[in-house]
Amino acid sequence: MDMRDRVNAALKDAMRSKEADRLSTLRLINAAIKDKDIAARGSGDEDAGVSNDDILAIMGRMVKQRQESARAYEEGGRLELAEKELSEIKIIEEFLPKQLNADEAANAIDAAITEVGATSIRDMGKVMGVLKSKYTGRMDFGKAGPMVKDRLG
């Protein structure tokens, strides 16, 4: 079952069980996917729908946005809003593959460096490209970038 079907099935289940918060979050995910579909059509690429990797990237961005919002709400003393953001993160993360831990990420980076034969910081783009093709949705590339830089620098 592809990601779009999983989201739609969860959306229907949430409607049947009248889970308002879950339904709201799933609708946000669906809207983001549809926005990406529309953008792909606007670029003249009629056949190009949104792939599972694209959907994983969308959800990864949604999680990151909610983490930043929750942090800002906590700093501002708006704990009820922070709780809402954190509950949305949990729902979105149900669809994301398990994140790599620090050791797994380090091993993946080492393997990517070996695979492309990277020797200097100039090869960082190639290494990141390999990582993004293999670990989209499973690795935080904001943290991976400095790790790659340390190994190549």
* 93-130 per-position pLDDT tens digit: 898 888 888 888 889 999 999 998 888 889 889 999 99
- pLDDT of the residue at 8: 93
Q: Taking the alpha carbons of 98, 104, 106, 112 in that order, is the dihedral positive or negative?
A: negative
Q: Choose among 97, 96, 90, 68: nearest CA to 22.
A: 90
Which class in CATH covers the domain with range 3-93? mainly alpha
Determine whether domain 102-152 maps to CATH 3.65.10.10.
Answer: no
Percent of the chain residues past pLDDT 70, beyond the cut: 95
Cβ neighbours of residue 108 closer than 8 Å, sequence gap 6 or more:
100, 131, 134, 135, 139
Q: Which two tokens mark 150?
A: 């340390």
Domain ranges, ordered by start, for the chain: 3-93, 102-152
